[in-house]
Amino acid sequence: MERIILTADHSLMTEFRNISLFGFFSCSPVQYVPELFYDRLFAPLVPADNGNARYAQYGLRKVEASLIKAFGRKSVVVAHPRYLSYFADDASIIGLTVMDPLGIGPVTSSFAFGTGLTPYNRKKFMDLLKTIRKKIRCRVIAGGGGAWQLVDKDLVDHVLVGEFEKDGPEVIKDIMDGCNRKVFKLEPPEPEEIPPIVGPSINGLVEVSRGCPRKCNFCDPTTHRKRDIPIEQILKEVRLNARYGQKSAWLHAEDILLYRCESKNFEPNKDAVIELFKEVMKVKGVKSAGTTHCSLAGVVAAPEIIEKVTEITGKGWHGVQPGIETGSPKLIKKYMKNKPKPFSAEEWPEIVEEAISILNRYKWLPACTLILGLPGETEDDVLDTIRLVERLDRFHCVLAPLFYVPLGALRTKGKMFSIKSASPEHLRLIYECWKHNLREFSQGVWKGTSEMNPLFRIISSLLVKIGSREILRRLEKYLEKCAS
Ligand code: SF4
C-alpha cells in the first residue's frame, strides 16, 4: 500500500529535555558543541514505536491530521527520522516540515556571527536529506515556517509555502498524480478548516491562536491574520497529549495575551486568557501549563493575567518569548507602531523594563529578541537600545540580538544584516547582550534542571559554564578584530 511519509530532522524531533533554553543548542555551531553532547545530553530524539515517532513536531501533526481527513488514516505515517527505512518500500512521497533548514534564519545567523560555521539545524537537515536519498526512492516535499529557504535551492522536489490545512491535501494529490511544479503557495485556512491533531505533539504543544494582528513591518505577512482556535478544540488536543503521557500543556500563540481579544487598542481579554489556563489545568493528567510567546505591552496592560496564570499553573521558573526589537521609539513608530499598544511608542523603553520586572516577579524568564540593522537605523537608535539593554542587566532574561532579514512588508527594502556591516555600536550591543546571556545561561541551567538526575545536572551545568566562558572569550577576540 502506498503511503505518505511525514517526518522532520533531529533538531525538530526532540523535546530538549523539556528545558526551553536547550532549544538554543540547535543554532549553535557543530564546530563548538560536540555532536555526542547535542544528541545525547541536550537534544535526545523522541522515542520510537515500531518506526513511528511517539511525539512529533506540532506542525507535522497538523499536516498529518489534514492528510488523514483527506486520504484516510492508513495512508499517512509520521515516521521517526532514525527509522525511515521501515517505510521505504511503501512510500509514495515524503513530506518534511522545516523551520530553519539552512541555518540562515535570524536566530541562527546571529549565533554564528557571520563566521561561516555550520549550525546544528542545518547539519541535521542535510543529514536527513542524505538518509532519504540513500534509502528511499520517492519525491520529497518540504513545508513549514522555513520552507522559503528552499525555494531557490535544488535540495527537495517541491516546496509548499504557507499554511497547509486548506489547500495542502489537494496539492499533495496533484503531486502524487505527477504534477512537477516546484513551488506552491498555500492560502490560510479559517479556524473551522484547521483539524485537531490526532497524534501527540512534542512538549505537549497546542496552538491557541494563529497569526498576529500587531503587523510589524519586518514580520512575515503570513503571520498577520489572527485566528483564535475555539477552546473546545484546544482542550481536545490537550486531552490527547495528556493521554499519551504529556504532563505539561504548552500553549502556542504569537501573543497569548491577545487570545480572543477584540479590542482595537490591543487591551487583553483577561477573562478569556485566565479561563483558558483554568480549563487546561482541569484536564486529567495535566500538571502544568505554559506558553510560547507574549507581548511586553500586554504584560504591562494586564499584569493580573500573569499573576493569576502563575497561581493557576503553579509553575516555577519557566521561559516565554517576547520581542523587544529596539530601544528606539523612532524605529518603533516607523516599523512596528502596534507593538507598544495600548501604550505609545515614546513609552516603549519603560514598558519593556516594567514588563520584564513583572514577569520576573512571577518567575517567568523572558527570552527577548532584538533586531539589528533595520533599514534606516542610525547610531542614535542603536545607542537607545544599548541603554535599554544595560538597564535590563539587573533582571533575569535572555537577550537575543538578531540580524535583520528582509521579510514582510520590508521584503524588498534593505539588505540582510550581517556582522560585516556592523558598526562599533552594533558590536557593543551584541557584546552586552551576550555578556548578560552567558551569565543567565550558567545560572539558568542549574535552576532549569532542578528536577533531573543530579549527575546530569552537574555535567550539563559544568558544560554550559565552561562553554559560556569560551564563547565570551572568543566573542571578545572576534569583536576586537572587527573593531580594529
Ligand atoms: S508582535 Fe511579533 S509576531 Fe506580531 S507582528 Fe510583531 S513581530 Fe510579528
**CA 9 to CA 45: how far, in whole Å?**
10
Quick one: pLDDT at residue 366?
Answer: 95
Q: How far is the CA of 476 from the centre of ligand 1 (A)?
A: 32
Beta-sheet strands, E only, within 308-429: 318-320, 323-325, 364-372, 398-403
Q: 215 in ligand 1 pocket by Cβ < 6 Å?
A: yes
- Kindly report, residue by residue over 400-412, the tens digit of the pLDDT: 999 887 765 555 5
Cβ of 276 closer than 6 Å to ligand 1, yes or no, is: no
CA-to-CA distance for 75 and 69, rounded, in angstroms?
A: 10
Q: Is 407 in the pocket of ligand 1 (CB under 6 A)?
A: no
Query: How remote is the CA of residue 214 from the centroid of ligand 1, in Å?
Result: 6
Is 219 a pocket residue for ligand 1 (Cβ < 6 Å)?
A: yes
Its pTM stands at 0.92
| Lowest model confidence (mean pLDDT) among 62-71, 183-192, 419-428, 450-459 | 450-459
Residue 141: pLDDT band (50, 70, 90) is very high
CA of 466 to the centre of ligand 1 (A): 35
Amino acid making up residue 434: W
User: How far is the centre of ligand 1, averaged over its atoms, from the C-alpha of 346 (Å)?
Assistant: 18
Ligand 1 pocket check for 216: Cβ under 6 Å: yes
**Ramachandran angles phi, psi of 33, nearest 5°:** -110, 115
Contacts of 238 (CB under 8 A, 6+ apart): 204, 206, 249, 280, 283, 286
Q: Between 479 and 128, whose confidence is greater?
A: 128
Closest residue by CA, ligand 1 atom 1: 214
Residue 65: what pLDDT? 98
Q: How confident is the model at residue 483 (pLDDT cuts 50, 70, 90)?
A: low
Query: In Å, what is the CA distance from 211 to each residue of 101, 174, 306, 394?
Result: 22, 28, 22, 32
| Mean of pLDDT values over 125-139 | 93
CA proximity to 291, closest of 325, 319, 261? 319
Query: What is the model's pLDDT at position 112?
Result: 65
Report whether 70 contacts 215 (CB < 8 A): no
